[in-house]
Structure 1
Amino acid sequence: MIFNCARCRTLTFYSNTISCLLLSRRTRVLVPLSYSGMAAVSESDYERAVSALNGLQSNFQVLSEMRKQPRGRGKHIFSKTPEFLSRVGIDVTELDSLNVIHVAGTKGKGSVCAMCESILRAHGLKTGFYSSPHLLEVRERIRINGEPLGKDLFVNYFWQCYDSLTRNKELYEEQMPAYFRFLTLLAFKVFLNEKVDVAVVEVGIGGSYDSTNVIQRPVVCGITSLGYDHVDVLGKTIEEITWHKTGICKSGVPLFTSVQSDESLQVILSRGKELQASSVAIAPASSLYPDREKWKIGIAGAHQLENASLAVQLCKQWLKSMSKWNEGEEPLNDAEGERCGLPIARPFLLPSSFIKGLSDCVWPGRCQVVKRVGVSYYLDGAHTAESLRVCSNWFSVSSRKEEAEIQGPLMKVLLFNFSGRREAKNLMNEIYSLGFDYALFCPNITSNDIHSSDQANYNVSVADMLGRCYDNEKAWLSLPGVCQKTKVFDCISDAVNWVGRVRKTNKELYVQVLVCGSLHLVGGAMNVLGVTVMGTN
């Protein structure tokens, strides 16, 4: 396999020995797995672990293989997950003890999971949270009580799993799991050993054949807003996509869904019956209690009302299933009408822990504003047409509100990158009318001077990434009435520095920058701007 080495920026041949990553048992430190008395690991120990992780088959390669194969390829890949679990010392039935909230969807599943985690932590529970992708460091994907896994714990749990998998690996048809599946195994290992009360688990891609779907008995499942994404793998129709997403349903387990199209709701209803879900209900924004003006949601954006509604229904059901819910706090009537044969969840008075959890919830890189002298960076990882439409609305409202307080000239700048398989022009259609004065394009490379294994991309060369940026620029210029002032930069830091130089040449000027199109782009921008994800320092 050929990949682009993040350190030397050259193409390197990768074999099973991973010699260029300098990995050996002599170069890593294993220390006891406990907080008390744990020996600190060095930064180089952490870098070696992340480099070894990056050496596994990437999600990009897995998806590429699935696109070449019949639709059943995903099922074949998924079928190997229990075997990998066994090789790291976990029986699949042990996952039942994690009391999982399992969430799939196209838009908002990370936000819903973050809200669920925050609510249940505010309720006094020890929480585990598995999500993807990461913004700055891979350990953000695995959280305990809202904090990314510490480097010491990450390194130790990583090598424990990695060594278990490499031991006698030649005896197995699939010797090592791919990147995402390894992290899924690692998350389960961490949550079991750290004895969390609840694990909130976000699906990676799809649902039916996602590696997280090895969970057999979650407490409750949720489906967030559905749209078109990964169509080469999940299908080209909303019905096919919904079929995959609803595959996380389990026998005897309740399912809640956000508001969907009638086509999706019909599939959710039939799939729920097929998989014998104990109940299926819709959680629209109106299911939040009417006095919602008395509390706030910590994550910005009007669309978060819909996500919050699903989160509170999931948490309420989890607490009821675990016999931790005060029945006296809810209305007697369980449903408020129906749609497409599915009952609509009724609003209920939110307990103080729910209000605190929603208010305190933080989900970086989504509708986040970072202010510097004379510049506001609007960060949102939206990368589908539907999510960019929501991002556009958020930026339009928020930037206008800020504009009313600005004295002097204003400049609006777009910083965009998109590296998926969809047409970038279709995505830009959702944001081109926002009145930008400049459009900037760059690859998801943080800096030409600093290279981090956490943000390395081994799938494509730097030349290919830059080529895609020029394609994005060309697509932008083909849109009607857009600004013709564009620039392509080699890395994110160059683009951010250009904004700073423009601001310095006119200190009366105020600049608003929308960064979108890729969560990896947003993560790189956060790195350049010195914005941290809580607990990552």
Structure 2
Amino acid sequence: MTSAAERIEALMQIHPKGFDLSLDRMMGLLEKLGNPQNTMPPVIHFAGTNGKGSTIAFTRAILEAVGLSVHVHTSPHLVNWHERYRMGRTGASGALVDDAVFADAIRRVAEANGGKPITVFEVLSAVMFVLFSEHEADVALVEVGLGGRFDATNVMERTDLSVITPISLDHEAYLGDTIAKIAFEKAGIIKPGVPVVVSVQEDDALDVIERQAARQKADVIAAGQHFSAQAEDGRLVYQGEDVLLDLPLPKMQGRHQIENAATAITACRRFAADRGFSLTDKAIERGIETAFWHGRMQSLDHGKLVQAAPDGAEIWLDGGHNPGAAVAIADWLDARNRISPKPLTLICGMLTTKGPKGYFDNLVRYQPDVVCVPIVSSDAGVEPKALADVARSCGLSVTTAPDLATALASIEPAGERRILIAGSLYLVGDALEQNETPPS
């Protein structure tokens, strides 16, 4: 039997892997498949530059704690294609899609497309619609791939809630070179009359989102206006317009996860109110305590790569790849250093579509030793020497290494040191695969 990965590999030989921001091909393909996008469970649609995956993880954990079955679509994957599709199960947490079910859905979508030009992401989005429409669940959490307005997921006639996480500069070649232009693309997921929950945003982004919501007659529930959260005395204090919650801090690291958790709580509360079910404080508490998202300030404490690192070092992974993500890393480093200051080594790899200078500029004040490495899982990685030149131009001390294991083994002096493998989700995926600890 042909596996899902083999079927996708075959498609990648005849179709491009990138993005083509239009919806005509998607709509034509989905019509041949019986328009599965319109027979989905209730949908919460997520767009934004940073924090989508973590916010979805919190949302899923809270809704599952209520007892709902939750389908989840995210991208990209870190190690295995199956990570993009988590299938809801009654009375249990969702599980990654079964390979035979996945492979059959890919086959049917490819046959319906009939060899016509299409991107692999569009095929995989159509697979998501097929899977989620054919398998019952109480709710589907759907992450945008790129932008929003012309993203392949934005073909549903109706959704039940929109969520827009923090917007910053990223994918400028596709989405525009200002925050306002990018926000316009992200706000394209807002549907007529469907409320939108908005994370903390720059003023330019929020203005655009509010204008688009007004055009669509959609309620806006915005951070800083209608809800907020902060860490106080080792707890997360969430305040909504009608509630004050004292919750545990998230397991996920970083101040930005407080904001992501607040967005997820707000989304779940609005979804519950609109769908008419009870969302208990206990379910919210359990969701915040248990939510986890691979590759977002993830600690590595065992595995093959860990064994290559100096004794006494702590190793972290983070897939953030733009200046906004580097700001979140800086906040996290400040908090860690207040508790336990340690010298920092940054093992970095990035894609050619990213802006490395803005990323490094936000980390210069920590004066990390930087080791630039190639990205194995993408042919769009920046050559380590070229990336090193950018880091060096920012005033950083930089070396290169041919792979992650060599980079870890080369770190001197040994002893207590904070090692951060970061700069790309693809690099994080390489690390998890080589460490033999893939997401499950």
Q: Normalising by the residue count of structure 2, what TM-score does the alignment of the two structures yield? A: 0.87
Per the alignment, in what secondary structure is the counterpart of residue 251 of structure 1?
coil
Query: Counterpart of 2:69 in structure 1: which amino acid?
Result: K
User: Which segments of 5 or more consecutive residues in structure 2 lack a partner in the other structure?
Assistant: 89-93, 230-237
Q: What are the equivalent positions in structure 2 for 1:150-299 lying under 5 Å apart?
A: 150-166=98-114, 169=115, 175-277=116-218, 279-284=219-224, 286=228, 288-289=238-239, 293-299=246-252
Establish whether residue 442 from structure 1 lines up as the match of residue 367 from structure 2: no
Q: Any conservation in 2 of the 1:56–1:178 contact (CA below 8 Å)?
A: no
Q: Any conservation in 2 of the 1:115–1:308 contact (CA below 8 Å)?
A: yes
Partner of 1:300: 253
Task: State the shift of 1:414 in Å.
Answer: 1.1
Q: Any conservation in 2 of the 1:100–1:201 contact (CA below 8 Å)?
A: yes
Query: Counterpart of 1:281 in structure 2: which amino acid?
Result: I
Per the alignment, in what secondary structure is the counterpart of residue 379 of structure 1?
strand
Per the alignment, in what secondary structure is the counterpart of residue 439 of structure 1?
strand
Per the alignment, in what secondary structure is the counterpart of residue 39 of structure 2?
helix
Q: Any conservation in 2 of the 1:88–1:165 contact (CA below 8 Å)?
A: no
Deviations 1:415-473 (A, max 9, x none): 0111233442222111122132x31111111xxxxxxxxx4x3x55xxxx4x6321111
Query: Counterpart of 1:526 in structure 2: which amino acid?
Result: L
Matching residue within 323, 327, 336 for 1:389: 327
Cα distance change on mapping 1:48 and 1:92 into 2, 3 Å: closer
Task: State the shift of 1:258 in Å.
Answer: 1.3
Partner of 1:316: 269
Q: What are the equivalent positions in structure 2 for 1:418-433 lying under 5 Å apart?
A: 418-433=350-365
Q: Any conservation in 2 of the 1:249–1:272 contact (CA below 8 Å)?
A: yes
In terms of mean alpha carbon deviation, does 312-321 or 86-95 score higher?
Answer: 86-95
Task: State the shift of 1:187 in Å.
Answer: 1.1
In terms of mean alpha carbon deviation, does 371-380 or 298-307 score higher?
Answer: 371-380
Rounded to whole Å, the distance in 1 between the matches of 2:286 and 2:14 is 40
Query: Counterpart of 2:76 in structure 1: which amino acid?
Result: P
Rounded to whole Å, the distance in 2 between the matches of 1:430 and 1:381 is 16
Establish whether residue 129 from structure 1 lines up as the match of residue 72 from structure 2: yes
Task: State the shift of 1:268 in Å.
Answer: 1.4
Q: Any conservation in 2 of the 1:419–1:468 contact (CA below 8 Å)?
A: no
Partner of 2:26: 81
Task: State the shift of 1:176 in Å.
Answer: 4.2
Per the alignment, in what secondary structure is the counterpart of residue 128 of structure 1?
strand
Rounded to whole Å, the distance in 1 between the matches of 2:337 and 2:8 is 38
Establish whether residue 148 from structure 1 lines up as the match of residue 126 from structure 2: no
Task: State the shift of 1:256 in Å.
Answer: 1.4
Matching residue within 321, 325, 328 for 2:278: 325
- Count how many residue pairs are aligned between Structure 1 and Structure 2: 414
Establish whether residue 521 from structure 1 lines up as the match of residue 427 from structure 2: yes
Establish whether residue 468 from structure 1 lines up as the match of residue 383 from structure 2: yes
Cα distance change on mapping 1:476 and 1:247 into 2, 3 Å: same
Per the alignment, in what secondary structure is the counterpart of residue 344 of structure 2?
strand
Quote the sequence identity (%).
Answer: 26
Q: Any conservation in 2 of the 1:86–1:92 contact (CA below 8 Å)?
A: no
Matching residue within 87, 102, 111 for 2:45: 102
Task: State the shift of 1:104 in Å.
Answer: 0.8
Query: Counterpart of 2:429 in structure 1: which amino acid?
Result: G
Query: Counterpart of 2:79 in structure 1: which amino acid?
Result: L
Cα distance change on mapping 1:396 and 1:147 into 2, 3 Å: farther
Task: State the shift of 1:110 in Å.
Answer: 1.4
Per the alignment, in what secondary structure is the counterpart of residue 281 of structure 1?
strand
Establish whether residue 510 from structure 1 lines up as the match of residue 416 from structure 2: yes
Deviations 1:299-350 (A, max 9, x none): 2111111111111111111112211137xxxxxxxxxxxxxxxxxxxxxxx6
Rounded to whole Å, the distance in 1 between the matches of 2:258 and 2:421 is 23
Rounded to whole Å, the distance in 2 between the matches of 1:162 and 1:83 is 13
Query: Counterpart of 2:228 in structure 1: which amino acid?
Result: S
Partner of 2:344: 412
Larger radius of gyration: 1
Partner of 1:48: 6
Partner of 2:232: none
Per the alignment, in what secondary structure is the counterpart of residue 75 of structure 2?
coil
Rounded to whole Å, the distance in 2 between the matches of 1:81 and 1:203 is 14
Task: State the shift of 1:273 in Å.
Answer: 1.7
Per the alignment, in what secondary structure is the counterpart of residue 44 of structure 2?
strand
Task: State the shift of 1:152 in Å.
Answer: 2.9
Partner of 2:235: none
Establish whether residue 119 from structure 1 lines up as the match of residue 62 from structure 2: yes
Q: Any conservation in 2 of the 1:396–1:434 contact (CA below 8 Å)?
A: no
Q: Normalising by the residue count of structure 1, what TM-score does the alignment of the two structures yield? A: 0.72
Rounded to whole Å, the distance in 2 between the matches of 1:243 and 1:359 is 34
Per the alignment, in what secondary structure is the counterpart of residue 211 of structure 1?
coil
User: Which segments of 5 or more consecutive residues in structure 1 lack a partner in the other structure?
Assistant: 1-27, 30-44, 64-73, 170-174, 327-349, 404-409, 446-454
Rounded to whole Å, the distance in 2 between the matches of 1:90 and 1:300 is 40
Cα distance change on mapping 1:240 and 1:220 into 2, 3 Å: same
Cα distance change on mapping 1:522 and 1:109 into 2, 3 Å: same
In terms of mean alpha carbon deviation, does 280-289 or 256-265 score higher?
Answer: 280-289
Rounded to whole Å, the distance in 1 between the matches of 2:392 and 2:198 is 39
Partner of 2:91: none
Rounded to whole Å, the distance in 2 between the matches of 1:299 and 1:387 is 15
